[in-house]
């Protein structure tokens, strides 16, 4: 289980450059689905069909985004220093001195100009240094438009793990593990590993339009309020899978939210309720597809989000797998 997490989190795959991570996930899921395809935006769509559909069988889309936050080379100066644009949300103070890797393997780090005041810290005062002596040498390794992501490794601290891109590779792993466990689903399952979530839920929006599901579920991480002077949030590491009530992009469909709570309580799966002030998930895109889709979210509480050192608790991860499996086989006739 942890080895799958390691493989997924250490893979390269910022938004718009998901080829490597998609190939890894494809190799993991090929034998556990009836069909899979890649759509025009790069989403990996895996289908599991029931052997004997009934009147209660629904078309269910479950989405976990496979992209991670990153950066794009924006300008290379005469001395070979690279100015950059963010791909997804970053906080400047977390970048200084961090290493990044481009898709071709070129490594660099974030440098910082001299500041008159700490309040002047922003992306325009920063650059990526790949050790080039001049622009000509830099251009042999990096071109304007090339995308890079954090260099970080998976650390197993026992009950908790630390890595980059647990947002949302942890949930990609959850979806893979759930697909393995569901041998003969009661519903027609469209398991989507979506692209460009960090740029505005783009992949899920396209995938949902093509699939036209009757029920939607997003698997994503969420914040945690259990650190010193942390934000006042209900979610804590080790308290179970989080069932979302709302975030800044969507209010969970009450039928889906109540079903998830009922499934968790019936199967004695640890859970906690989530309200998130900032950020959203693929559920917000699925929910507004075509005529509208009843949708909800299962989340994994995560510390230090959108940094190279995100942390989750493995018991929350396992609870999310169990709850996802139950959801895949649920009766949605009363939604």
- What is the per-residue pLDDT across 251-272, written as a single tens digit (0 to 9) for each? 999 999 999 999 999 999 999 9
Look at the pTM and tell me if it is higher than 0.85: yes
- Nearest CA-CA partner of 267 in 326, 328, 180, 184: 326
pLDDT level of residue 118 (50, 70, 90 thresholds) = confident
For residue 334, name the pLDDT band (cuts at 50, 70, 90).
confident
35 and 119 share one domain = no
Q: Please tell me whether residues 265 and 119 are part of one structural domain.
A: no
Cα(323)–Cα(333) distance, integer angstroms: 19
pLDDT at 33: 93
> Which of 25, 278, 309 has its CA nearest to residue 174?
25
pLDDT of residue 230 exceeding 90, the answer is: no
Q: Do 40 and 26 reside in the same domain of the chain?
A: yes
Q: Are residues 227 and 267 in the same domain?
A: yes
Domain identity same for 269 and 199? yes
Structural domain of 139:
70-150
Average pLDDT for 24-42:
95
Calculate mean pLDDT across residues 115-144: 94
Catalytic residue numbers, as ranges:
197
How far, in Å, are 121, 153, 231, 305 from residue 278 at the CA level?
22, 27, 11, 12
CATH number where 106 lies: 2.40.30.40
Q: Are residues 127 and 203 in the same domain?
A: no
Integer angstrom CA distances of residue 31 from 64, 145, 196, 268, 326:
19, 36, 26, 30, 21
Convert the pLDDT of each residue in 277-328 to its tens digit: 989 999 999 999 999 999 999 999 999 999 999 999 999 999 999 999 999 9
- Are 316 and 253 in the same domain? yes
Q: Which two tokens stand for residue 316?
A: 């929350």
């Amino acid at each position: 289980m942890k080895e799958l997490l390691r493989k997924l989190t250490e893979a390269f795959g910022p938004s718009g450059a998901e080829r490597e991570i998609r190939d890894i996930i494809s190799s993991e899921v090929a034998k556990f689905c009836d069909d899979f395809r890649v759509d025009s935006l790069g989403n990996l769509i895996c289908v599991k069909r029931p052997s004997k559909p009934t009147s209660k069988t629904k078309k269910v889309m479950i989405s976990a985004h496979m992209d991670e936050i990153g950066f794009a080379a924006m300008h290379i100066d005469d001395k070979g220093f690279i100015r950059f644009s963010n791909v997804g949300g970053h906080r400047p103070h977390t970048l200084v001195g961090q290493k990044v890797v481009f898709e071709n393997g070129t490594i660099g780090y974030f440098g910082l100009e001299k500041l008159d005041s700490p309040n002047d810290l922003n992306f325009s005062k920063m650059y990526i240094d790949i050790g080039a002596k001049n622009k000509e040498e830099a251009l042999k390794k990096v071109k304007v438009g090339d995308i890079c992501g954090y260099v970080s490794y998976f650390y197993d601290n026992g009950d908790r793990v630390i890595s980059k891109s647990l947002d949302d590779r942890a949930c990609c792993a959850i979806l893979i593990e759930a697909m393995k466990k569901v041998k003969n689903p009661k519903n027609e399952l469209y398991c989507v590993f979506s692209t460009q979530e960090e740029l505005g839920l783009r992949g899920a929006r396209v995938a949902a339009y093509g699939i036209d599901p009757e029920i939607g579920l997003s698997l994503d991480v969420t914040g945690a309020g259990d650190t010193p002077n942390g934000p006042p949030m209900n979610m804590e590491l080790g308290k179970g899978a989080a069932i979302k009530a709302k975030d800044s992009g969507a209010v969970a469909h009450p039928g889906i939210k109540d079903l998830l709570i009922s499934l968790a309580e019936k199967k004695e799966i640890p859970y906690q309720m989530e309200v998130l002030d900032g950020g959203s998930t693929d559920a917000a895109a699925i929910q507004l597809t075509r005529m509208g889709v009843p949708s909800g979210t299962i989340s994994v509480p995560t510390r230090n989000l959108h940094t190279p050192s995100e942390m989750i608790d493995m018991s929350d991860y396992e609870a999310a797998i169990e709850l996802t499996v139950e959801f895949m086989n649920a009766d949605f006739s009363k939604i």
